[in-house]
Amino acid sequence: MKNLLENIEEILLMGPGPSCVPPQVYKALSQKTLGHLDPYFLMIMDELMEMLRRIMNTKNKLTIPISGTGSAGMEACFVNLVEPGDKVLIITNGVFGMRMQDVAGRLGAKVDALEFTWGTPAVPEAIEKKLRQDSYKIVAVVHAETSTGVKNPVAEIGALLKGSDAIYLVDTVTSLGGIEVMMDAWNIDALYSGTQKCLSCPPGLAPLSFSEKAMAKLNGRKTKVPNWYLDISLIANYWGKNRVYHHTAPVNMIYGLYEALYVIFEEKLENVFKRHMESYRALVDGLKNMGLKMLVEEPYRLPMLNAVSVPDGVDEKAVRQRLRSEFKIEIGAGLGPLAGKIWRVGLMGHTARRENVERFLAALKKVIGK
C-alpha cells in the first residue's frame, strides 16, 4: 500500500477552519512525547494555562484545554453546567447557536431560543426584554458565528446580565486570537474555543475557562455530571495542584497549542488583531472591485470569517472545486439556509496575511472570469 501522507500538498486554508499552521507549531507537534504526569510536562501545562488566561483576559483558575475539538468545548460547558430541567436561553443566529440548542436539549435543559435572522447580529434590546419576561439558569451566545460571519454583541449582553444569577456561556471558537475577548470584563462565566481557527494550531483541543460562579454551579449539582470524560471537577484535579490522573492528556497536541500561543504573544496580540483587520480590509476592497457583495452589513462583520454572496448564475461548488484543484486554495461553502448562497472565506490566524488575500483574489478573478 502506498503511504498517502507522502503526497500531502500544501493548501492555502482560507475556509472556516482549520487555518494555516505556522512552521513553529508543526515543529512543536513532533517534539518528543513525555508522560502525562512527567514533571517537565506539568511545567508546560502550567505555562499553557497562564497563556490561555492571558489571551482570554481572565483570572479564572480553571482555564484549560479540553481533550477534544472545539465542539467538545461546547459539550463540556453544557454538560457540566446544565442540570435536568434548567431553563436555558440560547441566542441564535446561525448553525452554532442551533447546535447549542441541540446539545443543551439532549442534556435535559428547557431550551428557549431567541432567534435573529441569519447574517444579522443579536439585538441587545430584544434580549433585555426576554430577560425581563423570564428567568434563566444559563444564557448562551456565539461570539463569532462561523456560519454567517456575524459578530454578536457579547460585551453588551454581558452588561445586561450583570448582577443576575444566570451563568453567561459564550462560544469564542472563531473569535479567540483574532479579535478581542475580555472574559472577565464582559462577565462571561463559561467560555470555550478551538485551536484550529485564529490560534492556528491543528484541530484537537478546546480551550475552556470557568469563572468561580460557574464552578459554584458545577459544585452545587444534585447529580453527577452525566459525562465522565468531560467532568470538569475531575479534570480540574489533574490540571490543579494535586495532579490526579484522570485521562491521558493529548501531550503532543498540548505542545502544539503551547507553541501557537507562544508565537501569538511573540508577535504581540495587538499586532495579530491588526493583521486580521488589514487582511479583511484588503479582501473586502478586492471583492468590491470585482463587483462581489458581502452578506453581512459592515459594522457586524467578523474580520476572520467573510461571507461572500455568490453572484447569480455562478456555480458556487464548481468555483470552490477549481480553487482547490487548480490554485491549491480552500474556501468554505454556506451551511443550512445559506448553502449555495455564500462562500465562506476565512482569514484566521496564520492565514491572515496580505499575500494570501492577493493570491486568493487573483485566483478567484480567473475562476469567475471577472
- Applying the rule CB under 8 A, the residues between 211 and 270 that interact with its own copies are 224-230, 245-253, 255-256, 258-259, 262, 265
Least distance between its own copies and beta carbon 344 (Å): 12
Q: Per-residue contact track with its own copies, 315 to 334, x per CB under 8 A?
A: ---------x-----x----
d(CA 284, CA 357) in angstroms, rounded, equals 10
Q: Which three cell numbers stand for residue 203?
A: 484541530
Amino acid letter, residue 120: T
d(CA 346, CA 357) in angstroms, rounded, equals 10
Amino acid letter, residue 245: Y
Which is nearer to its own copies, 120 or 227 (by Cβ)? 227
- Judged by CB under 8 A, the residue of 65, 70, 121, 349 near its own copies is 70
- Judged by CB under 8 A, the residue of 94, 97, 158, 204 near its own copies is 204
Which is nearer to its own copies, 247 or 366 (by Cβ)? 247
* Max CA distance (Å), the chain: 64
d(CA 95, CA 139) in angstroms, rounded, equals 17
Which is nearer to its own copies, 81 or 131 (by Cβ)? 81
d(CA 91, CA 113) in angstroms, rounded, equals 6
Q: Is 285 in the site for its own copies (CB under 8 A)?
A: no
- Judged by CB under 8 A, the residue of 124, 203, 286, 337 near its own copies is 203
d(CA 318, CA 343) in angstroms, rounded, equals 12
Which is nearer to its own copies, 6 or 134 (by Cβ)? 6
- Judged by CB under 8 A, the residue of 11, 269, 277, 314 near its own copies is 11
Q: Is 72 in the site for its own copies (CB under 8 A)?
A: yes
Which is nearer to its own copies, 94 or 153 (by Cβ)? 94
Q: Which three cell numbers stand for residue 104?
A: 443543551
Least distance between its own copies and beta carbon 51 (Å): 9
d(CA 233, CA 209) in angstroms, rounded, equals 13
- Judged by CB under 8 A, the residue of 106, 341, 353, 370 near its own copies is 106
Least distance between its own copies and beta carbon 348 (Å): 12
Q: Is 18 in the site for its own copies (CB under 8 A)?
A: yes
Q: Is 294 in the site for its own copies (CB under 8 A)?
A: no
**Residue numbers 50-69 binding its own copies by CB under 8 A:** 67-69
Region at 4 (left for phi over 0; alpha for psi -120 to 50; beta for the rest): alpha
Amino acid letter, residue 74: M
d(CA 64, CA 193) in angstroms, rounded, equals 11
**Residue numbers 117-176 binding its own copies by CB under 8 A:** none
Least distance between its own copies and beta carbon 93 (Å): 19
Which is nearer to its own copies, 108 or 124 (by Cβ)? 108
Which is nearer to its own copies, 120 or 252 (by Cβ)? 252
Four-residue CA torsion sign, 176, 177, 180, 183:
positive
Q: Which stretches does DSSP call E strand in 153-228?
A: 167-171, 190-192, 206-210
- Judged by CB under 8 A, the residue of 55, 56, 62, 107 near its own copies is 107
Say which residues have a Cβ less than 8 Å from residue 102's Cβ, sequence separation at least 6: none
Question: Cα torsion at 265, 269, 271, 273 (round to 10°)?
Answer: 140
